[in-house]
């Protein structure tokens, strides 16, 4: 779509005064948004900002102060700018330099040094680009040399749409102050309506001594009648022809139409009365007030343009080294490398920060002093500790490329990465928070805290560089070892703990005399070099590892608490120490370093072959199968060859110090532990041998060579012990061997029995004699295992069956008693107050006065009878029911019969015994109420089907033995009670007797060598009971709530300890065992709540218990009763 009537001011560069210092009289280039300022002020006052607008100003005097607040012209804005206009058939006109209404177009400024342009070389170049609302783009290219008198400008306008009646003008106010006698307005001069490229327009201003011209590329005279225009261009160009006045000049071109996609280029220049450098230094002299100028004019002229950042952006347009010095105002500055690699060797100073944008790399090489934060938004920033002052925000990549040692105290933050390059050492001391991780690609990065390495989520990547730690701390960050590997240096007497994962293809090098502790599950595969100091695997826990081979020239320490398999090989001159757990040392390789085992277990695998000298300190154990160089067992250390059993081969000497232990495994087949040496064997009389024999059948006399050497054996062990109960070890010696002999010691088996039952069983086992499988099993048992083995052989669970029958007999008596209390109650007595709480049976009346009443009662309970020091603790449970029928013999007498079934379980855990009993019950009962006196009697018989199983462990193998038998229980019981009413309470003191007789039984087990046969003795026991029942009735919401309580003392007479007489299979010596006894005195408790829901329905909850110090039976019930 064609565009007409377009007018645009493109804000460009401003040349203005700048300060001069005593040691740096070079000119300055200020980057301040969209314009340039060039110049000097000998008094040190900056000449930009204030009312200065975008444009070009140049002060050639080198003196005075540029007053930024001065109202130069109405309204006080000197400028040099561009105007592009297109109107309907007219050219662009301006009434004065301030009367413009066109859009100011912003752009981007790029500064370069040492460039080629259009086939010519220039010292300096700056390019400004901008776009106006999709209508056109404009590019202004400034290039000049330090010694020239002109600033060459090329302007290119490119149409982004069809533009008609296009005009272009440039205008300049050459004077920064109004001349005396001038009016407040400004004369504006421009050429004719259409000025050819060969025409020249220029102006002079005497008041502020500006000498500026605007020209094409010829010196032809421009004929014009306009006031104050000279026709002698040659005189002007030589700087000798000065006029006066305060004028604005302009150059205008009428271009016509410019089609979309087309462009047009103009080339022109500003001419200065002297060269740029000479104009700065010509009037400076040796001293300026109290400031001494030490630079000569020639030295100043040799300097490059020095940019000043005032919120602007410098865009790099090619690779290279830029030597200018820069300064930064409070508005900051930005360098956009735009994909190139640019090195800035000059000093950057100022009061604000520097931002790096664009792809590519910015290298800061100068001793910069700017005080603000350095921000990396894109690409890469490279510097050193002396070129990057202050804090850094990296959202891309920040590199310190250090060739010598340096410290960086600033804070590093942001989302990006920090990398250390170069052979030097950099110390970070700040609590940094950058999140992208740390890369170590050269030299060392030294830190004293994990926080200096950035956010905790950031990883640590080694690419040939190193990390040096100066204090002790821990880090959970992950570590990656690149193909170049990485070095971790820990300072003396410090420790670095890495709990994260160390991964990668590279190698880990440990340097420094301190300690590196690895507690993570590491996967790196490049191997490990311990150059100095200590590398510790684990820190007392169950984690920590290394992968691959280790070159150990320092100290390698294994400090895990569990079993750790080390699969690599170890070489080098360092030491290896085991501080905890068990290390499976499968392939350590041949290495010269010593191994120290302390509070840990070192396990050699079958392929182990090492020339190491192994020292086992207190708490340490060496075991397994393999070869080592020499072996010393210190006090508290243990040598235990093999993995039950095995051989340790020693290519040198062996020494057992006082307090050390040689732990020897032997088997019935003749296999045994062995230390096979080539050097001398030295034995202290304070050392001892401990024999650990495997289960099995041994010959009556067995001899084993436990140490053999091709050298000589000197000294002797101070003693030998065995874990066998009945095999005694003895040591003998010759010149090159130590022998172990095991013989039967004749000790009575019963001496290891801890209870009478176990001792009785032990005597019976010993009577079986040699050749019997059970006898051989016991004689080969260790001292630790023989006592529980004898106890498990005793079969005491059979005797304890009768204890269960005695304890559970009470459930039948309680059910019958509850039925009698329910059916009979005294006249005028609160009906069945205590009977209801006793959970009486449910009843059903078949016919009034004709048929019996039927009732049913469910019951259940559980309990324990505790060990008496002989028989083990017995636990039991029961669940069953009774069904009965009774009739009224008289108004105050009742009689009935019942039958039922229950099932019991028993466990004797300490003797690996269990059992079950099926119980079948029958009985009869009767009761009479004579006033307040109640008499209640009953008789019952139960037939029991018993099954018992035992699982003793013989020679490490559990046996399965079981037997079944039957017996019976007869009960006769009675009770007398007296009912008393006290207030609203019903009380019933009572006394009762129960006779319980359990018949004997025979049994015969099957299943193994430890099977038993024999009989259970019968039991006749009398129980007396004295107690009190109490109950009351409470109205609750129209119903009756009856709480009740019963407390009684029960005492047992007669047989309270059950006995069984048993015989082992194949034996002739019977023995007796006693089960846990019935408690002689018990407290019988009953407490409940009963709620009458209607005349025929009742809901009750109840607890009953029989409690004694040696036994307890408990039951909880919830019952619903309904009478029909």
Of 115-119, 798-802, 1006-1010, which one has max mean pLDDT? 798-802
In 522-622, alpha helices (H): none
> Which of 693, 858, 670 is CA-nearest to residue 784?
693
Strands (E) across 542-666 are located at 550-552, 555-566, 570-571, 575-585, 595-597, 601-609, 613-616, 621-628, 630-633, 638-641, 647-650, 654-656, 661-666
Q: Tell me which residue of 1098, 834, 851 sits closest to 977, measured CA to CA.
A: 834
First-to-last alpha carbon distance for the chain, in angstroms, is: 107
* Nearest Cα residue to 977 out of 963, 991, 987: 991
Report whether 270 contacts 140 (CB < 8 A).
no
pLDDT digits (tens, 9 = 90+) for 680-719: 999 999 999 999 877 666 666 778 999 999 999 999 999 9
- Evaluate whether 924 touches 939 at the Cβ level (below 8 Å): yes
Nearest to 914 by CA among 957, 960, 879, 868: 960
Return the sign of the alpha-carbon dihedral for residues 975, 981, 986, 989. Answer: negative
956, pLDDT greater than 80: no
Q: Where do the domains of the chain lie? A: 10-299, 391-548, 749-792, 800-1122
32-41, 118-127, 1076-1085: segment of lowest average pLDDT? 32-41
pLDDT-derived band at 909, boundaries 50, 70, 90: very high
- 538 Cβ contact list (under 8 Å, min separation 6): 517, 518, 519, 544, 558, 559, 560, 561, 564, 580, 581
Identify the CA nearest to 382 among candidates 330, 331, 442, 435.
Answer: 442
Q: Percent of the chain having pLDDT more than 90? A: 48
This model's pTM is above 0.75: no
Segment 469-496 shows an average pLDDT of 96
Does 953 score more than 90 pLDDT? no
CATH level 2 (architecture), domain 800-1122 = Beta Barrel (2.40)
Cα 472 to its chain centre, rounded Å, is: 19
What is d(CA 860, CA 905) in angstroms, rounded to the nearest whole number? 12
Average pLDDT, the chain: 76
d(CA 376, CA 354): 9
Q: Name the least confident of 30-44, 277-291, 558-572, 874-888.
A: 277-291
Contacts of 465 (CB under 8 A, 6+ apart): 420, 421, 439, 440, 441, 442, 443, 444, 445, 484, 486, 487
Coil, strand or helix at 552: strand
pLDDT, greater one: 288 or 625: 625
Q: Is the pLDDT of residue 861 over 50?
A: yes
- In angstroms, the CA 592 to CA 610 distance is 8
User: Given a cut of 60, is residue 295 above it in pLDDT?
Assistant: no
**CA–CA gap between residue 857 and residue 883 (Å, rounded):** 7
Quick one: pLDDT band at residue 115, thresholds 50, 70, 90? low
Range 510-519 average pLDDT: 97
pLDDT above 70: residue 118: no
507: tokens are: 């190698």
pLDDT bucket at 145, cuts 50 / 70 / 90: low
Question: Is residue 292's pLDDT more than 60?
Answer: no
With pLDDT > 70 as the criterion, what percentage of the chain qualifies?
70
* pLDDT (tens digit per residue) in 326-375: 888 888 888 888 899 999 998 999 999 999 999 999 999 999 999 999 99
The answer to whether the CB of 431 falls within 8 A of the CB of 454 is: no
Least confident of 271-275, 413-417, 570-574, 1044-1048: 271-275
Quick check: 622 pLDDT over 80? yes
User: What CA dihedral angle connects 168, 174, 177 and 181, to 10 degrees?
Assistant: -90
Higher pLDDT, 1093 or 82: 1093
Asked if residue 506 lies in contact with residue 440, where contact means CB atoms within 8 angstroms, the answer is no
Least confident of 217-231, 246-260, 624-638, 767-781: 217-231
Residue 610 has pLDDT above 70, yes or no: yes
Element at 888 (helix H, strand E) = strand 874-890
Encoding tokens for residue 273?
A: 């009365």
């Amino acid at each position: 779509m064609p565009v007409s009537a377009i007018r645009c001011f493109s804000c460009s560069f401003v040349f203005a005064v700048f300060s001069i210092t005593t040691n740096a009289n070079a000119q300055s280039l200020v980057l301040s948004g969209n314009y340039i300022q060039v110049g000097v002020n000998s008094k040190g006052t900056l000449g930009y900002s204030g009312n200065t607008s975008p444009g070009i100003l140049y002060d050639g005097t080198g003196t005075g102060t540029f007053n930024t607040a001065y109202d130069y012209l109405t309204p006080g804005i000197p400028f040099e700018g561009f105007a592009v206009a297109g109107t309907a058939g007219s050219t662009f006109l301006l009434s004065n330099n301030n009367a413009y209404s066109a859009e100011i177009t912003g752009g981007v400024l790029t500064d370069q040094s040492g460039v080629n342009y259009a086939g010519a070389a220039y010292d300096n170049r700056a390019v400004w680009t901008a776009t106006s609302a999709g209508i056109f783009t404009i590019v202004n290219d400034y290039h000049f040399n330090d010694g020239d008198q002109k600033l060459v400008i090329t302007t290119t306008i490119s149409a982004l749409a069809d533009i008609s009646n296009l005009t272009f003008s440039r205008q300049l106010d050459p004077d920064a102050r109004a001349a005396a006698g001038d009016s407040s307005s400004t004369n504006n001069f421009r050429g004719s309506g259409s000025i050819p490229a060969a025409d020249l327009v220029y102006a002079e201003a005497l008041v502020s001594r500006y000498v500026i011209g605007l020209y094409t590329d010829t010196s032809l005279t421009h004929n014009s009648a306009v006031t104050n225009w000279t026709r002698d261009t040659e005189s002007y160009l030589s700087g000798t022809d000065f006029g006066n006045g305060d004028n604005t000049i302009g150059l205008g071109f009428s271009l016509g139409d410019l089609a979309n996609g087309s462009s047009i280029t103009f080339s022109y220049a500003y001419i200065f009365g002297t060269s740029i450098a000479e104009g700065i230094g010509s009037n400076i002299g040796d001293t300026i007030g109290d400031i001494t100028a030490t630079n000569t004019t020639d030295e100043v002229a040799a300097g490059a343009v020095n940019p000043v950042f005032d919120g602007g952006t410098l865009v790099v347009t090619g690779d290279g080294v830029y030597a200018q010095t820069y300064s930064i105002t409070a508005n900051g500055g930005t360098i956009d490398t735009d994909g190139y690699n640019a090195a800035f060797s000059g000093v950057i100073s100022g009061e604000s920060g520097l931002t790096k944008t664009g792809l590519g790399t910015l290298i800061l090489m100068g001793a910069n002093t700017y005080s603000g934060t350095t921000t990396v938004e894109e690409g890469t920033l490279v510097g050193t500790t002396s070129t990057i002052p202050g804090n850094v925000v990296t959202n891309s990549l920040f590199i310190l490329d250090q060739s010598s040692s340096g410290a960086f105290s600033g804070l590093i933050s942001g989302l990006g990465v920090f990398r250390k390059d170069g052979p030097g050492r950099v110390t970070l001391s700040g609590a940094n928070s950058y999140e992208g991780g740390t890369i170590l690609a050269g030299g060392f990065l030294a830190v004293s805290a994990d926080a200096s390495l950035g956010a905790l989520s950031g990883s640590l990547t080694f690419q040939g560089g190193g990390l040096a730690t100066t204090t002790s701390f821990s880090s959970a960050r992950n570590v990656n070892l690149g193909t170049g590997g990485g070095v971790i240096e820990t300072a003396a007497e410090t420790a670095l703990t890495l709990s994260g994962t160390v991964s990668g293809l590279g190698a880990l090098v440990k340097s420094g005399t301190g300690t590196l502790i690895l507690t993570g599950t590491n996967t790196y595969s490049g191997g490990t070099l311990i150059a100095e100091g200590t590398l510790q695997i684990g820190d007392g826990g169950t984690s920590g590892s290394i992968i691959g081979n280790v070159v150990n020239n320092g100290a390698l320490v294994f400090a895990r608490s569990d079993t750790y398999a080390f699969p690599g090989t170890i070489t080098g001159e360092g030491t290896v120490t085991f501080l905890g757990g068990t290390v499976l040392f499968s392939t350590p390789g041949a290495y010269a370093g010593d191994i120290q085992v302390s509070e840990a277990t070192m396990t050699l695998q079958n392929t182990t072959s090492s020339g190491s000298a192994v020292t086992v300190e207190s708490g340490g154990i060496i075991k397994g199968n393999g070869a080592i160089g020499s072996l010393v067992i210190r006090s508290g250390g243990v040598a235990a060859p093999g993995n039950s059993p095995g051989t340790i081969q020693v290519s040198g000497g062996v020494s057992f110090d006082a307090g050390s232990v040689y732990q020897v495994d032997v088997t019935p087949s003749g296999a045994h532990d062995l230390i096979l040496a080539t050097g001398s064997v030295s034995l202290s009389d304070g050392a001892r041998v401990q024999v650990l024999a495997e289960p099995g059948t041994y010959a009556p006399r067995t001899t084993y060579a436990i140490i053999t050497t091709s050298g000589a054996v000197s000294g002797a062990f101070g003693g030998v012990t065995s874990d066998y109960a009945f095999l005694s070890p003895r040591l003998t010696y010759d010149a090159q061997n130590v022998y172990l002999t095991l013989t039967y010691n004749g000790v009575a088996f019963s001496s290891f029995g801890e209870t009478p039952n176990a001792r009785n069983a032990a005597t019976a086992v010993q009577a079986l004699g040699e050749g019997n499988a059970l006898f051989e099993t016991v004689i080969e048992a260790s001292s630790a295992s023989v006592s529980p083995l004898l106890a498990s052989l005793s079969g005491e669970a059979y005797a304890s069956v009768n204890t269960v029958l005695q304890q559970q007999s009470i459930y039948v008596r309680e059910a019958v008693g509850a039925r009698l209390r329910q059916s009979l109650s005294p006249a005028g007595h609160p009906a069945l107050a205590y009977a209801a709480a006793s959970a009486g049976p449910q009843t059903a009346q078949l016919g009034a006065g004709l048929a019996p009443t039927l009732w049913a009662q469910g019951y259940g309970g559980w309990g324990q009878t505790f060990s008496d020091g002989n028989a083990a603790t017995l636990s039991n449970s029961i669940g069953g029911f009774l069904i009965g029928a009774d009739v009224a013999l008289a108004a105050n007498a009742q009689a009935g019969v019942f039958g039922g079934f229950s099932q019991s379980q028993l466990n004797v855990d300490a003797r690996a015994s269990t059992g079950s009993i099926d119980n079948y019950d029958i009985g009869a009962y009767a009761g009479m109420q004579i006033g307040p006196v109640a008499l209640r009697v009953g008789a019952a018989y139960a037939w029991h089907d018993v099954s018992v199983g035992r699982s003793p462990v013989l020679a490490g193998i559990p046996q399965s033995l079981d037997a079944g038998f039957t017996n019976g229980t007869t009960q006769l019981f009675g009770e007398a009670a007296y009912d008393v009413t006290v207030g609203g309470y019903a009380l019933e003191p009572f006394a009762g007797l129960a006779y319980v007789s359990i018949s004997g039984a025979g049994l015969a087990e099957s299943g193994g060598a430890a099977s038993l046969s024999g009989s259970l003795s019968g039991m006749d026991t009398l129980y007396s009971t004295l107690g009190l029942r109490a109950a009351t009735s409470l109205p609750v919401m129209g119903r009756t709530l009856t709480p009740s309580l019963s407390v009684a003392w029960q005492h047992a007479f007669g047989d309270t300890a059950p006995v069984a007489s048993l015989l082992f299979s194949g034996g002739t010596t019977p023995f007796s065992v006693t089960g846990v006894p019935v408690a002689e005195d018990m407290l019988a408790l009953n407490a409940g709540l009963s709620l009458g829901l209607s005349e025929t329905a009742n809901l009750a909850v109840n607890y009953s218990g029989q409690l004694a110090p040696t036994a307890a039976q408990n039951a909880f019930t919830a019952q619903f009763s309904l009478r029909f």
